[in-house]
Amino acid sequence: MLNAETFAAYVNENRERYLDEFASFIAVPSVAAQNRGIHTMADLLEERFKQLGATVRQYPLEGGSPVVYAEMGSGPRTLLIYNHYDVQPEDPLDLWHVPPFQLTRQDGRLYGRGTSDDKGELLARIQAVEAWLATQGELPIKLKWVVEGEEEIGSPHLEEWVVAHAEMLKADGMLWEGGGRDEAGRITMSAGCKGIMYFDVRVRTANKDLHSANAPIVDNPAWRLVWALSTLKNERDEITIDDYQQHVRPLTAEEAALIDALPFEAEAFKANFGLSRFLNGIDAHEARRRLYERPTVTICGLDSGYQGDGTKTVLPAEARAKLDFRLVPDLTPELVHDLLRRHLDKRGFTDVEIIPLGGERPAKSAINSSVQAAAAAACQDTWGQTPVIFPWTAGSGPMYPLSTMLDIPVISAGATWHPDARAHSPNENIIEQDYFDDLLFTAHLIARFSQT
């Protein structure tokens, strides 16, 4: 078992150094979408693993960000750990009240891009291993670390890399990124996630913007795009893409019961985001069920023509939209691309260009696996509470290739997320105490997993 007292004492002695190191990670703007700071961050991470005594290597990916892979420790059981070192773009800058790439301590929180998603959790786990080695001795298990730099753009190269290194990645369980508290302060974990497919869709007509007086005789790409998008959902928010719903596998009775039993702080959820109601006025029970059961089609952004101050009578030459599709079994990225193309073509929208920007399949792991049991026990050790375990999350990530495809049970667990963490938004943050709790939780999980 872990000697928590000596572990905590070491962490407390090194608290300010750990925060300084956290600041150095946040200072690197490793934005995969813009190919900024990626190699600087990968190099920094490689050096940090070497400081632990790990065997570490960067795997360059053609046209992508390198995977940083590290191994250390020994023992009868192997734990694979997944994190990512890339972050979302910081836009819009004017909504940040602190510099996005400067770690700022304020009112018990740590602000900066990547604090909660995912550099905080990544570094807390690394620092936890350092503290273990300094106070407990050798690791009782083998750790294999996969840290990628493309999670925020859909991990387009990860599956191919995993296939090529499947033998190297064999493990008894996997600790995924993510985990924290819900609106009531309960610790939450999950054993799966939805999939995703992301598209850029475009319509172009003339070779340049025109005077809007030409509107009676020239196609307006903005209208073309709006009309095309309007065929994807109806006014009741039902997805109307041809043959889409027939590929959605119904929940089993066991899955439905698991979801219905999950706590859901509906009023706190609405208050946190300034909402007066859920979509279409549905009640809390239906909202909880939809959040985990339903696939989605979301317009993430629209752009066309003039959007500055005042007036400009222009007929735009191009219109664009960003779409994401959250996927449930048995929808796949490839299937969704095909269904979308056929649906639009059938309605005369052959002029709508569809550009896939990355996708991930939905992933599910066995309930009550050994790694899940270890995480639940570690939660009791750390906070004295039983975690709420979701069968899968409403969000997405590249869990399928590393877990489902390799048949490795997974648990997404940690302490760095909370309802106001603002991941992907301005003023992203974690609670400072949660950051240090994550070190202790990681140590307890290592101890518990070594005993299962």
**Residues 445/374, Cβ–Cβ less than 8 Å:** yes
Q: Give residue 1's pLDDT.
A: 83
User: For residue 407, which phi and psi values (nearest 5 degrees)?
Assistant: 55, 45
Q: Give residue 372's pLDDT.
A: 96
The CA distances from residue 312 to 168, 179, 210, 221, 315, in Å, are: 59, 48, 11, 17, 9
- The model's pLDDT over 137-170, given as tens digits with 9 standing for 90+, comes to 999 999 999 999 999 998 999 999 999 999 999 9
- The model's pLDDT over 337-349, given as tens digits with 9 standing for 90+, comes to 999 999 999 999 9
User: For residue 304, which phi and psi values (nearest 5 degrees)?
Assistant: -170, 145
DSSP string, 26-44: HTS--BGGGTBSHHHHHHH
- The model's pLDDT over 396-442, given as tens digits with 9 standing for 90+, comes to 999 999 999 999 999 999 999 999 999 999 999 999 999 999 999 99
Give the C-alpha separation, 343 to 345, whole Å: 6
**Residues 81/145, Cβ–Cβ less than 8 Å:** yes
Residue 118: name the closest of 398, 447, 445 by CA: 398
**Quick check: 58 pLDDT over 90?**
yes
Q: Give residue 272's pLDDT.
A: 87
The CA distances from residue 412 to 128, 140, 383, 399, 443, in Å, are: 17, 21, 17, 10, 15
Residue-range domains of the chain with CATH: 4-191+365-451 (3.40.630.10), 195-360 (3.30.70.360)
- The model's pLDDT over 240-299, given as tens digits with 9 standing for 90+, comes to 999 999 999 999 998 899 899 999 999 999 998 999 999 999 999 999 999 999 999 999
| 153 Cβ contact list (under 8 Å, min separation 6) | 32, 33, 86, 357, 358
Return the exposure string of 87-103: e unless at least 16 CB atoms fall within 10 Å of the residue's CB, then b: bbbbeeeeebebebbeb
Q: Give residue 216's pLDDT.
A: 96
Mean pLDDT check: name the lowest of 11-25, 126-140, 314-328, 384-398: 384-398
| Average pLDDT along the chain | 96
Neighbours of 184 (CB within 10 A): 11
The pTM score is: 0.90
Provide the 8-state DSSP code for 249.
Answer: P
